[in-house]
């Protein structure tokens, strides 16, 4: 209940001055990988879309090894990253579109405004592999940050649905209180923040900090077929 009140206050505060899109904060330390956010993105829409605009990456690594005394030890790990379009300040998708079908709005939203040719150049260019394509039309169907909901003082469907509060909205000014290194370095396999300057902040998974980044690069995406 208190969480809901906080969320409502947060949304009211943000949408009153909807000149700028909020940032999304995803906390990998609390995400359980349940994918309720993905289901909410798909189910909450009023069309016959058959694909969500959000994806949860399951990232895992580590191994077992035998010590000199014969005992087996392990350092296996797994964590989750809930990903969609992050409405980047420097969107590579936009530059890659041969038909100039994408636009960066003054609010920060990256929208499809022209005719999508279905070439998927935007997806190839996006370091988050975020653009999603409608299976029936073959055209881009990207996350719009649930802008209609934001404009009516509601949180995006994925944010509202997460049972653990792993997805929250933050204002750009709140980033001033965040350590710049934490902002610039996201857990693998996410790219460095500087590449596109996404409207996204990612909290590190339990047991790890940005000091572990090199060790985590050896991991792999366990569910590539879900994208
Ligand atoms: S709903 Fe929340 S906890 Fe579940 S996968 Fe999505 S972000 Fe993670
Ligand atoms: S996340 Fe990818 S698709 Fe979205 S704005 Fe950034 S570069 Fe473009
Ligand atoms: S903001 Fe809306 S469209 Fe984008 S991933 Fe979340 S639910 Fe889907």
Q: Which of 103, 89, 109 is nearest to 20 (CA)?
A: 109
Q: Is the CB of 55 under 6 A from ligand 1?
A: no
Instruction: Out of 85, 87, 143, give the residue to mutate to test ligand 2, the one with the largest number of ligand atoms within 8 Å of its CB.
Output: 85
pLDDT of residue 10 exceeding 80: no
pLDDT digits (tens, 9 = 90+) for 38-55: 999 999 877 777 789 999
Instruction: Out of 157, 166, 167, give the residue to mutate to test ligand 3, the one with the largest number of ligand atoms within 8 Å of its CB.
Output: 157
Q: Is it true that the peptide bond before 211 is cis, omega within 30 degrees of 0?
A: no
pLDDT digits (tens, 9 = 90+) for 86-138: 999 999 999 999 999 999 999 999 999 999 999 999 999 999 999 999 988 99
Q: How far apart are CA 39 and CA 211, in angstroms?
A: 33
Catalogue all structural domains in the chain, each as residue range(s) with its CATH number.
2-226 (3.30.70.20)
Q: Decide: helix, strand or coil at residue 11.
A: helix
Q: Decide: helix, strand or coil at residue 109.
A: coil
Q: DSSP for 126-175, please give it.
A: -TT----B-TTT-SB----TTHHHHHTT---HHHHH-TT--EEEE-GGGG
């Amino acid at each position: 209940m208190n969480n809901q009140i906080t969320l409502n206050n947060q949304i009211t505060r943000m949408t009153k001055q909807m000149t700028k899109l909020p940032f999304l904060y995803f906390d990998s330390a609390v995400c359980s990988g349940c994918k309720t956010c993905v289901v909410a993105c798909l189910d909450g829409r009023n069309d016959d879309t058959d694909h969500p605009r959000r994806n949860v990456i399951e990232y895992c690594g580590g191994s077992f090894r035998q010590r000199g005394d014969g005992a087996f030890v392990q350092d296996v790990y797994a964590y989750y990253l809930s990903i969609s379009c992050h409405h980047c300040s420097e969107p590579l998708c936009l530059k890659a579109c041969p038909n100039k079908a994408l636009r960066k709005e003054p609010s920060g939203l990256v929208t499809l405004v022209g005719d999508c040719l279905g070439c998927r150049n935007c997806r190839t260019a996006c370091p988050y592999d975020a653009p999603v394509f409608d299976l029936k039309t073959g055209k881009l169907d990207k996350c719009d940050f649930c802008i209609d909901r934001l404009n009516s003082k509601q949180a995006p469907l994925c944010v509202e649905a997460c049972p653990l509060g792993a997805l929250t909205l933050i204002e750009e000014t709140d980033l001033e209180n965040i350590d710049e290194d934490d902002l610039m370095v996201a857990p693998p396999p996410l790219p460095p923040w500087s590449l596109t300057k996404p409207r996204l902040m990612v909290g590190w998974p339990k047991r790890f900090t940005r000091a572990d980044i090199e060790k985590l690069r050896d991991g792999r995406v366990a569910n590539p077929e879900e994208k």
